[in-house]
């Protein structure tokens, strides 16, 4: 299957809707119950954590290895190297030739894939459950025995460079967002995106790749998630067989903290586009911060919904914009919430920004209506419950919460926070984070005439 950067999946969240529609707050809590899903967990002596979620509905198994490393671990000189390493992992080991992982999994009726994100890199196989050991053997081999042939590596660099041209440089939205992001973050690795800068991609050396691989690909920096038609005891026995002899190693990270932003930043970007765009990037805390639940609700009520305030008033009532949307990243480091607005014309961009700020201030002053709060909580709780019903997705959630926060059951805490959420919590989040001195604004305008 095609390997890709997970940011494109996240951008798909722009079209996700959460129902809502305006004075003050207190409502009866939304009653819903978090499904209790059984899972088994185990940890090898070398630090490798394992989660197993049984589902015997069909004779398939999904096997995942999550490494606690991504774009926010990269020095600027080698930006994007986590993604480049993901590609390199399919070039072969001492035992497996180039693309042999795909061939082996296809031969038994399965598939293999991988993805890179800001704070993790993940490799997965889905196979008939009788072939679980094949997935174990493949990923154990790749954890320690990667072979980096200079000629193959150079060819793959060009593949990644072309990927950047197609998905970033030739996409006015993604390239504009990249420019706004690099303006918003001046020291932290969020200064660059997942794919990295072209100069970095073309400048990687085999030594860079080998050093990065050796530094982060170890059992104590990984989490295994297995779901499907499996026996937990068999999973643990196979994990010990294939990974048990690997030694843990010390993991050192950059530890760069972004300086506090004290004033609004602005950047004007000229692009080949027929429509202007306003992008606003607000700094938010890391993904396990209690404020995240309120920020997500605020996002839905204010922007990220067909019936949200911005769409209802700026688009449908005042006819100032053609579209609006937003999304955020819940990372292990503080990150951002991104809001985009498409004005009717370049001349109206200042007016649109002022109108947006006025709606934020009105929300802070007047509060959230009981109907808005009830609707956003109901939709979010429903989404969480349905998300837990997929056993493979649940196993992934356990792994990602462990990789990011060493807290596999974070989903329960966020659910409880959502049930207890009040309108005052949402207005407090708006007052704290959606303020001009906490944002970077980008005006994207058509190039030339």
Spatial CA neighbour of 391 closest among 134, 64, 114, 44: 64
Say which CATH topology domain 260-446 has: Cytochrome Bc1 Complex; Chain A, domain 1 (3.30.830)
- For residues 360 and 354, give the distance between their C-alpha atoms in angstroms, rounded to a whole number: 10
pLDDT per position as a tens digit, 309-325: 999 999 999 999 999 99
Fold of 40-243: Cytochrome Bc1 Complex; Chain A, domain 1 (3.30.830)
Who's near 386: CB < 8 A, 6+ residues apart? Answer: none
Pairwise CA distance, residues 78 & 447, whole Å: 31
d(CA 51, CA 62): 12
The pLDDT, as a whole number, for residue 83 is: 98
CA atoms within 13 A on the CB side of 175: 19
pLDDT single digits (tens) 365-407: 999 999 999 999 999 988 888 878 889 999 999 999 999 999 9
The region of weakest confidence among 7-21, 47-61, 179-193, 207-221 is 7-21
In this prediction, residue 244 has a pLDDT band, given cuts at 50, 70 and 90, of very high
Q: Where in the chain is the domain with CATH 3.30.830.10?
A: 40-243, 260-446
Would you state the pLDDT for residue 290?
94
pLDDT value of position 449: 60
């Amino acid at each position: 299957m095609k390997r890709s950067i997970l940011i494109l999946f996240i951008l798909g969240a722009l079209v996700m809707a959460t129902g809502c529609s305006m004075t003050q707050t207190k409502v009866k809590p939304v009653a819903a119950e978090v499904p209790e899903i059984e899972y088994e967990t185990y940890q090898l002596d070398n630090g490798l954590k394992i989660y197993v979620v049984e589902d015997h509905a069909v004779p398939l198994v999904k096997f995942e290895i999550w490494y606690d490393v991504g774009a926010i671990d990269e020095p600027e000189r080698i930006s994007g190297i986590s993604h480049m390493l993901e590609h390199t992992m399919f070039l072969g080991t001492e035992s497996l030739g180039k693309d042999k992982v795909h061939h082996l999994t296809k031969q038994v009726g399965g598939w293999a894939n991988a993805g890179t994100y800001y704070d993790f890199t993940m490799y997965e196989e889905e196979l008939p459950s009788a072939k679980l050991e094949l997935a174990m053997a493949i990923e154990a081999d790749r954890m320690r025995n990667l072979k980096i042939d200079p000629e193959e590596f150079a060819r793959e660099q060009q593949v990644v460079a072309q990927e950047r041209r197609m998905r970033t440089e030739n996409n006015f939205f993604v390239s504009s967002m990249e420019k706004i992001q690099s303006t918003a973050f001046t020291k932290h690795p969020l200064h660059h995106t997942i794919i990295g800068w072209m100069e970095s991609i073309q400048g990687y050396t085999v030594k860079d790749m080998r050093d990065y691989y050796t530094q982060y690909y170890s059992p104590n920096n990984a989490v295994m998630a297995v779901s499907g038609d499996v026996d937990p005891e068999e999973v643990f026995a196979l994990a010990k067989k294939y990974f048990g002899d690997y030694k843990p190693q010390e993991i050192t990270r950059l530890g760069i903290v972004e300086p506090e932003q004290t004033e609004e930043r602005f950047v004007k970007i000229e692009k080949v586009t027929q429509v202007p765009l306003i992008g606003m990037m607000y700094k938010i805390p890391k993904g396990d911060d209690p404020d995240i639940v309120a920020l997500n609700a605020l996002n839905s009520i204010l922007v990220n919904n067909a019936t949200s305030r911005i769409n209802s008033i700026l688009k449908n009532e005042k006819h100032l914009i053609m579209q609006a949307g937003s999304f955020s990243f819940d990372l292990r480091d503080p990150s951002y919430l991104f809001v985009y607005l498409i004005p009717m014309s370049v001349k109206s961009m200042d007016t649109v920004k002022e109108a947006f700020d006025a709606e934020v201030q009105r929300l802070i002053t007047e509060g959230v209506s009981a109907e808005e709060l009830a609707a956003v909580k109901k939709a979010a709780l429903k989404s969480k419950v349905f998300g837990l019903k997929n056993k493979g997705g649940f196993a992934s959630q356990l792994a990602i919460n462990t990789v990011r926060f060493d807290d596999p059951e974070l989903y329960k805490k966020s659910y409880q926070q959502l049930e207890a959420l009040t309108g005052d919590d949402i207005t407090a989040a708006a007052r704290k984070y959606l303020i001009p001195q906490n944002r970077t604004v980008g005006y994207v305008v058509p190039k030339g005439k």
